[in-house]
Amino acid sequence: MKTKQTNSTKPIKSPRLVKSAKSANITSGKTKKSAPAAPTSSKFPITVSNPTKIFWHDEGYTKLQLIEFYADIFPKLQPYVKDRILSLERCPDGMRGGCFYQKEAPSSLPPGTPTKRIAHVGKSAKSTNYVVGGSLATQLALANLGCIAVHVSGSRASSLRKPDWVCFDMDPQSGKFSDAARAGLRLKEVLDVLKLESFPKTSGSRGLHVFIPIMPDTDVDEVLSFAESLVARLAAQFPKELTVEHSIAARKQRVYLDPYRNGFGQTVVAPYSVRRRPKAPFSTPLSWSEVSPVLDPSEFNLGNYAKRLSGADPWRDFFKNRQPLTAAINSLKQI
Distance CA 211, CA 198 (A): 6
Phi, psi dihedral angles at 11 (to 5 degrees): -75, 160
What amino acid occupies position 309?
Answer: L
* Residue 38, pLDDT score: 37
Least confident of 35-49, 122-136, 182-196, 293-307: 35-49
What is the arithmetic mean of pLDDT over 271-298? 98
Distance CA 237, CA 241 (A): 9
Q: What is the per-residue pLDDT across 152-172, written as a single tens digit (0 to 9) for each? A: 999 999 999 999 999 999 999
Distance CA 200, CA 191 (A): 12
What is the pTM for the complete model shown?
Answer: 0.86
What is the arithmetic mean of pLDDT over 232-248? 97
36 within 8 A of 81, measured Cβ to Cβ:
no
227 within 8 A of 211, measured Cβ to Cβ:
no
Q: What is the pairing mode between strands 255-258 and 242-243?
A: parallel
What is the arithmetic mean of pLDDT over 188-207? 97
Give bridge partners of residue 229 from the DSSP assignment: none
Going by pLDDT thresholds of 50, 70 and 90, the confidence category of residue 125 is low
| Angle (nearest 5°) at CA 239 between 238 and 242 | 75
Least confident of 11-15, 143-147, 204-208, 298-302: 11-15
For 1, 23, 100, 256, the CA distances from 90, given in Å and listed in that order, are: 26, 26, 5, 25
**Of the candidates 176, 182, 273, which has an alpha carbon nearest to the alpha carbon of residue 234?**
182
**Of the candidates 180, 149, 161, 159, which has an alpha carbon nearest to the alpha carbon of residue 270?**
149
8 within 8 A of 55, measured Cβ to Cβ:
no
116 within 8 A of 20, measured Cβ to Cβ:
no
129 within 8 A of 187, measured Cβ to Cβ:
no
131 within 8 A of 114, measured Cβ to Cβ:
yes
Query: Residue by residue, what is the 3-state secondary structure of 28-39?
Result: ECCCCCCCCCCC
* Residue 267, pLDDT score: 96
* Residue 21, pLDDT score: 34
Per DSSP (E only), the strands in 14-67 are 27-28, 47-48, 54-56, 61-62
**Of the candidates 220, 213, 217, which has an alpha carbon nearest to the alpha carbon of residue 196?**
213
Please say if the pLDDT value at position 27 is more than 90.
no
Q: Please enumerate in sequence order all residues whose Cβ is within 8 A of that of 225, keeping only pairs 6 or more positions apart, or say none.
A: none
Distance CA 222, CA 230 (A): 12
Least confident of 17-21, 172-176, 272-276: 17-21
* Residue 152, pLDDT score: 98
Least confident of 41-55, 91-105, 149-163, 287-301: 41-55
* Residue 30, pLDDT score: 35
Please say if the pLDDT value at position 138 is more than 70.
yes
Please say if the pLDDT value at position 18 is more than 90.
no
Going by pLDDT thresholds of 50, 70 and 90, the confidence category of residue 198 is very high
Number of residues that this document lists for the chain? 335
What is the arithmetic mean of pLDDT over 106-111? 91
Give bridge partners of residue 62 from the DSSP assignment: 54
Q: What is the per-residue pLDDT across 28-74, written as a single tens digit (0 to 9) for each? A: 333 333 333 433 433 345 788 999 999 999 999 999 999 999 999 99
Q: What is the mean pLDDT of the chain?
A: 87
What is the arithmetic mean of pLDDT over 78-94? 97
What is the arithmetic mean of pLDDT over 178-193? 98
Please say if the pLDDT value at position 243 is more than 70.
yes
Distance CA 316, CA 109 (A): 31
2 versus 242: the higher-pLDDT residue is 242
Q: How many other C-beta atoms are found inside a 10 Å radius of the C-beta of residue 60?
A: 20
Please say if the pLDDT value at position 264 is more than 90.
yes
